[in-house]
């Protein structure tokens, strides 16, 4: 039989939590359950206990894998455009030629006609090189230790290879170094990449916007290519006007010549009759 009639008294728990990294915290409360940095503690006995914890790197690794995948797709597309060979047999179609073709035939023809149009484009090539330098630059050795390298395949220029095991270990044992290298400030890899993106596609005054236009900005209607097209259209209209003027002048000369010939024929007929 247990007697509950007596009076019991207690005191606050006094718990000290410390880590190898110099962390130290004292807990002095009326309960023995508490949490520190996402770790739940439940204390039931007096004494000392050693706990080993491991960082959850899953989310950080998934984010890095997603970034590498998306980044490589962009670099692959851009590199394929600046190395694509043109198909000289596919010249731009005239309106008359399009009338004799089906919509699908026109679509396929124009797709082939556009191939190689950006071959060796200086701005695109510079963008790829700048992005590659922003990532690697002076960081080749430390990135290699973290599992981030440049592919050996030359056709994958500007892309990234990720060794997941190495990168996971870097997150587990040296996450501060990873954070400092990739995202701490403007001098980090992400900071440099952000500056390059703003410079090239950050607004209507960016390099690619000035060259080809950027949606939802004034550069859509006023850019290098649109101005070139306008100049070509003006030149065509000017040549058309000159051709019309020349054609009218020739028609007038022909009409005058024809009238003179008719008059001459009439005179010849008169003389012959005489």
Instruction: Kindly state whether residues 28 and 123 are assigned to the same domain.
Output: no
pLDDT tens-digit series, residues 181-202: 998 889 999 999 999 998 988 8
- Asked whether residue 233 is domain-assigned, the answer is no
Q: What angle do CA 158, 160, 166 make, to 5 degrees?
A: 155
Instruction: Kindly state whether residues 132 and 161 are assigned to the same domain.
Output: yes
- Asked whether residue 231 is domain-assigned, the answer is no
- Asked whether residue 202 is domain-assigned, the answer is yes
- Domain of residue 16 covers 10-53
Where are the strands (E) in 118-253, listed by range? 148-149, 161-162
Instruction: Kindly state whether residues 32 and 130 are assigned to the same domain.
Output: no
- Tally of structural domains, the chain: 2
pTM above 0.85, yes or no: no
pLDDT at 37: 64
Instruction: Compute the distance between CA of residue 128 and CA of residue 271 in angstroms, rounded to an integer.
Output: 86
**Quick one: which H or E segment has residue 109?**
helix 103-113
- Asked whether residue 100 is domain-assigned, the answer is no
For residue 64 the two structure tokens come to 């890095």
Q: Is the pLDDT score of 82 beyond 60?
A: yes
In the predicted model, what is the mean pLDDT of residues 174-183?
90
Pick from 203, 222, 241: which residue ends a domain?
222
Instruction: Kindly state whether residues 77 and 180 are assigned to the same domain.
Output: yes
pLDDT at 5: 41
Instruction: Kindly state whether residues 49 and 63 are assigned to the same domain.
Output: no
Q: Is the pLDDT score of 130 beyond 60?
A: yes
Instruction: Kindly state whether residues 43 and 17 are assigned to the same domain.
Output: yes
Radius of gyration for the alpha carbons in the chain, expressed in angstroms and rounded: 39
Range with lowest mean pLDDT among 39-53, 96-110, 246-260: 39-53
Instruction: Kindly state whether residues 164 and 73 are assigned to the same domain.
Output: yes
- Asked whether residue 2 is domain-assigned, the answer is no
- Residue 213, C-beta contacts closer than 8 angstroms, at least 6 positions apart: 219, 220, 221, 222, 223, 225, 226
Instruction: Compute the distance between CA of residue 252 and CA of residue 242 in angstroms, rounded to an integer.
Output: 15
In the predicted model, what is the mean pLDDT of residues 105-123?
87
201 near 214, Cβ under 8 Å?
A: yes
Instruction: Kindly state whether residues 39 and 166 are assigned to the same domain.
Output: no
- Asked whether residue 67 is domain-assigned, the answer is yes
Instruction: Kindly state whether residues 65 and 41 are assigned to the same domain.
Output: no
Instruction: Kindly state whether residues 28 and 76 are assigned to the same domain.
Output: no
pLDDT tens-digit series, residues 219-232: 777 777 778 778 88
Instruction: Kindly state whether residues 206 and 151 are assigned to the same domain.
Output: yes
- Asked whether residue 265 is domain-assigned, the answer is no
Instruction: Kindly state whether residues 138 and 39 are assigned to the same domain.
Output: no
Q: Is the pLDDT score of 56 beyond 90?
A: no
- Residue 44, C-beta contacts closer than 8 angstroms, at least 6 positions apart: 32
User: Per residue in 177-211, is it b (16+ CB within 10 Å) or e — as a string?
Assistant: ebeebbeeeeebbbebbeebeeebebeeebbbbbb
């Amino acid at each position: 039989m247990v007697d509950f009639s007596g009076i019991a008294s207690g005191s606050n728990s006094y718990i000290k939590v410390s880590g190898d990294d110099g962390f130290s915290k004292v807990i002095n409360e009326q309960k023995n359950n508490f949490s520190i940095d996402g770790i739940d503690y439940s204390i039931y006995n007096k004494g000392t206990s050693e706990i080993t914890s491991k960082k959850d790197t899953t989310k950080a690794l998934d984010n890095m894998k997603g970034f590498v995948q998306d980044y490589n797709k962009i670099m692959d597309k851009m590199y394929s455009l600046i190395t694509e060979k043109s198909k000289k047999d596919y010249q731009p179609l005239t309106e008359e030629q399009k009338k004799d073709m089906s919509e699908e035939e026109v679509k396929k023809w124009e797709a082939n006609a556009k191939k190689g149009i950006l071959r060796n484009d200086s701005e695109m090539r510079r963008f790829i090189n700048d992005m590659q330098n922003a990532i690697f630059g002076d960081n080749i050795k430390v990135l290699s230790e973290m599992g981030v390298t440049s592919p050996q395949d030359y056709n994958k220029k500007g892309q990234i290879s990720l060794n997941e095991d190495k990168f996971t270990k870097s997150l587990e044992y040296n996450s501060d170094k990873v954070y400092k290298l990739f995202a701490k400030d403007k001098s980090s890899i992400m900071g440099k990449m952000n500056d390059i993106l703003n410079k090239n596609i950050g607004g209507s005054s960016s390099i690619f916007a000035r060259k080809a236009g950027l949606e939802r900005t004034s550069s859509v209607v006023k850019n290098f290519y649109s101005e070139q097209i306008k100049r070509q259209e003006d030149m065509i209209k000017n040549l058309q006007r000159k051709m019309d003027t020349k054609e009218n002048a020739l028609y007038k000369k022909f009409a005058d010549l024809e009238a003179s010939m008719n008059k001459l024929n009439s005179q010849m007929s008169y003389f012959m009759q005489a």
